[in-house]
Each structure stands twice: as structure tokens, then as C-alpha cells.
């Protein structure tokens, strides 16, 4: 049916070897025959069978994107699209295709990571949204498959990762609140099944320490990154520690949850309480008051993850790549 390299060979009166080598730019074919072959290939609308090629080269020019929690309980992954768009852009140059795996941690049949990748013979994979407790983590620590993780610090011979500088970002956000005059600053953190939670806590502590504000355990709570999580944590925190005047959050969704909770408690934001988030999702600029937050360059995170994966596949050494963040000042935090 489809035209193969054999057809071209017949047409051109040469061997399949020569066709292959001509089309792939090998030097041992005369310019004359190369041109002839190229022309015929063009005319016959030939396009190489990537399956057959993959069988012999053992390369598919395909990478996997494995994402956990595409659908978080109650909400869709808030910035997956941005990461995805970045990944696609990063892959475009080298013409890698992307095959999407969504893993559901609650599902029964958890295909092991290596099997997942090997079955489809991907050349490498980008991994996003894994919890620290996910069994994939252990597997990836020792894998030979070129892998780039997003927001999970694992580094070995074939595995690198990209993330924001979460310590620094949390440091800046907290410092900003301190600069506004706040001293009793709560921190509604993400669950401690995420690497970023530890880093952000460290940044928060660092800012307090640097400004000689004593750290209090009761000012820090953990929950999942959702709006409901923020809502509940805020109520509890304010109820138990009414002296708090500002709350930093490990996600915008949680910050928005706090915002709602504050409103429901009859508090004005930012007059009665200052709120700062993390992520800068689209919604954060649309709500009132606009949410002061840390912008993560998710598109760029995806883009660099893809670029780095390609470089690992090509044999370069994996690294940790840090993507710059930025404090976005809106109206949800103010001076006291």
C-alpha cells in the first residue's frame, strides 16, 4: 500500500541500501544519485516507516510524559496545560513525539515505571505530579531510562530534574510580608508528600530567622494543595491564633480557599488579614482582591524539562535546572 524504500530503489535502479543512505545523508553516495533518489521519494510521496526504523535502531524518537493526579480530587491540575505547552515547544525542535501517560495512584494495576516506558519503547520520559510516597520514585532513583522530573529532586546518571527555587521563593514571599510590618505570619503548607513543601517551609523559616522573628510550630499547618484544604486550615488557624495578621500559602488554590474563609468569617482582605499565595494561576489575577503570589514560569519549566531530556538522551549529564520565579504584588496583602 504505502510506498516503501524498496519502491524507490526499483524506480531509481539502485539498491535499498543506497536509498537509505542517500536519504539519511550518508557521504558514500554521489550527489547525482542522491538528487535522483530524493526527487523520486518526493514524487512518490514517500515517508519513512518509523516503526520499521525503530525496530532496528531501537530508538523511537518518542518521549513519554507521565503525569499523576491529572484530576486531583475536586479539581483539575491547575497549571498542567502550561507545562504541557512548554514541553511540546521544547520537543518541537528535535521532532520528538509525546505520548501521554496518566497514572492514577488509586488504581489497581500500577504498571511499573520501567515497564511503562519499555512497552512503548520511549527514548525517555518527563515525570510530573508524583508524590514522594509514590512507588515510581524508588524506581526512578535507579532507572537507566533518561528521565526528567518536575519538582522532585532526584539526580543520577540518567535522571535530572527542573524546578523553581522553592526555598528562595518562599523566603521572598515571607520577607515581603515581614517588610509590610507583619510579625505573626501563618503558613498554610502543602502536604508533606511533596518535595516542594519541605523547601517552602525552609524558605519561610529562613525569612523569619533572618528578621529575628521566632518560629512557631502552631503557625504552620499542612494540607493538600486544594481550595478546600486552604479553607479549612484558615478557619482553624485563625480560630486558634487570632493574633495572626498574614498567611502565606503553598498554592494559590489554598490562598483562594483562605480568602473565601476569611470572607465567610466577616474578615476583610487585605484590611484584616493579608494573604499571599504560590503559583500565580490564572484565576489569581481575576478575583477580588487580586492575589499577591509567587509566579512560577510553568511554561518555561515544561520547556526546559523537554530540552534537558533531549540532552540527556543525547548523552549529556543530567542536572538540576532552576527556573526563575517572581513575586507578583497585587492587592491581597498590605502594610500594617
Partner DNA sequence: AGATGTTACCAAAACGTTTCGGATGCATTT
Partner DNA sequence: AAATGCATCCGAAACGTTTTGGTAACATCT
Helix, strand, coil percentages for the chain (3-state, nearest 5)? 45, 20, 40
Q: Among residue numbers 76 through 95, which ones bind a copy of itself (CB under 8 A)?
A: 76-77, 80-82, 84-85, 88
Closer residue to DNA, CB minimum distance, 18 or 147: 18
Which partner, a copy of itself, DNA, none, binds residue 30 by CB below 5 to 8 Å per kind? DNA
CB of 121 to DNA, least distance (A): 10
Distance of alpha carbon 176 from alpha carbon 173, whole angstroms: 5
Q: Bridge partners of 150?
A: 128, 162
117 binds DNA (CB under 7 A): no
**Contact between 234 and 208 (Cβ < 8 Å):** no
- Phi/psi of residue 226, each to 5°? -85, 170
Q: Among residue numbers 31 through 90, which ones bind DNA (CB under 7 A)?
A: 31-33, 46, 48-49, 52-53, 55-57
**Interface with DNA (CB under 7 A), residue from 14, 140, 201, 269:** 14
Nearest CA to 65 out of 302, 323, 311 is that of: 302
Distance of alpha carbon 93 from alpha carbon 80, whole angstroms: 21
* Dihedral, CA of residue 125, residue 126, residue 128 and residue 130, to nearest 10: 40
3-state SS, residue 48: coil
Distance of alpha carbon 335 from alpha carbon 268, whole angstroms: 14
* Dihedral, CA of residue 239, residue 240, residue 244 and residue 247, to nearest 10: -80
Nearest CA to 159 out of 191, 198, 200, 130 is that of: 130
120 binds a copy of itself (CB under 8 A): yes
Closer residue to a copy of itself, CB minimum distance, 12 or 117: 117
Nearest CA to 330 out of 259, 261, 260 is that of: 259
CB of 216 to a copy of itself, least distance (A): 32
Q: Among residue numbers 232 through 291, which ones bind a copy of itself (CB under 8 A)?
A: 256, 282-283, 286-288
Closer residue to DNA, CB minimum distance, 15 or 263: 15
Size of the site for a copy of itself (CB under 8 A): 39
Q: How many CB atoms lie within 10 A of CB 331?
A: 14
**Interface with DNA (CB under 7 A), residue from 16, 99, 137, 213:** 16
Closer residue to DNA, CB minimum distance, 55 or 71: 55
Closer residue to a copy of itself, CB minimum distance, 282 or 316: 282
Q: Among residue numbers 99 through 118, which ones bind a copy of itself (CB under 8 A)?
A: 99-102, 115, 118
Q: What is the contact surface with DNA in residues (CB under 7 A)?
A: 1-2, 4-6, 13-18, 20-21, 23-24, 28-33, 46, 48-49, 52-53, 55-57
Q: What is the contact surface with a copy of itself in residues (CB under 8 A)?
A: 2, 47-52, 54-55, 60, 62, 70-71, 75-77, 80-82, 84-85, 88, 97-102, 115, 118-121, 256, 282-283, 286-288
Amino acid at each position: 500500500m504505502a510506498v516503501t524504500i524498496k519502491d524507490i530503489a526499483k524506480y531509481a535502479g539502485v539498491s535499498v541500501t543506497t536509498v537509505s543512505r542517500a536519504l539519511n545523508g550518508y557521504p558514500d553516495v554521489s550527489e547525482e544519485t542522491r538528487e535522483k533518489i530524493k526527487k523520486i521519494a518526493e514524487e512518490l510521496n514517500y515517508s519513512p516507516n518509523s516503526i520499521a526504523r525503530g525496530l532496528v535502531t531501537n530508538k523511537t524518537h518518542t518521549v513519554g510524559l507521565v503525569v499523576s493526579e491529572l484530576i486531583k480530587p475536586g479539581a483539575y491540575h491547575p497549571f498542567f496545560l502550561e507545562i504541557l505547552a512548554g514541553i511540546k515547544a521544547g520537543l518541537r525542535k528535535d521532532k520528538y513525539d509525546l505520548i501521554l501517560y496518566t497514572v492514577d495512584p488509586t488504581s489497581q494495576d500500577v504498571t511499573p515505571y520501567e515497564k511503562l516506558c519499555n512497552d512503548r519503547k520511549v527514548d525517555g520520559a518527563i515525570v510530573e505530579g508524583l508524590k514522594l510516597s509514590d512507588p515510581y520514585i524508588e524506581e526512578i532513583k535507579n532507572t537507566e531510562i533518561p528521565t526528567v522530573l518536575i519538582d522532585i529532586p532526584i539526580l543520577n546518571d540518567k535522571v535530572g530534574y527542573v524546578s523553581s527555587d522553592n526555598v528562595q521563593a518562599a523566603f521572598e514571599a515571607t520577607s515581603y510580608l515581614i517588610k509590610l510590618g507583619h510579625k505573626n505570619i501563618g503558613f498554610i503548607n502543602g502536604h508533606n508528600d511533596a518535595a516542594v513543601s519541605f523547601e517552602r517551609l525552609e524558605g519561610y523559616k529562613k525569612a523569619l530567622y533572618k528578621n529575628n522573628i521566632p518560629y512557631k510550630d502552631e503557625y504552620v499547618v499542612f494540607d493538600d494543595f486544594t481550595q478546600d484544604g486552604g479553607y479549612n486550615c484558615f478557619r482553624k488557624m485563625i480560630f486558634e491564633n487570632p493574633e495572626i495578621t498574614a498567611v502565606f500559602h503553598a498554592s494559590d488554590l489554598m490562598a483562594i480557599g483562605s480568602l473565601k474563609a476569611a470572607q465567610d468569617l466577616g474578615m476583610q482582605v487585605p484590611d484584616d488579614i493579608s494573604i499571599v499565595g504560590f503559583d500565580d494561576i490564572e484565576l489569581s489575577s481575576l478575583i477580588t482582591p487580586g492575589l499577591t503570589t509567587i509566579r512560577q514560569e510553568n511554561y518555561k519549566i515544561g520547556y526546559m524539562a523537554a530540552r534537558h531530556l533531549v540532552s540527556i538522551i543525547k548523552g549529556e549529564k543530567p542536572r538540576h535546572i532552576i527556573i526563575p520565579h517572581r513575586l507578583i504584588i497585587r492587592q491581597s496583602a498590605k502594610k500594617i
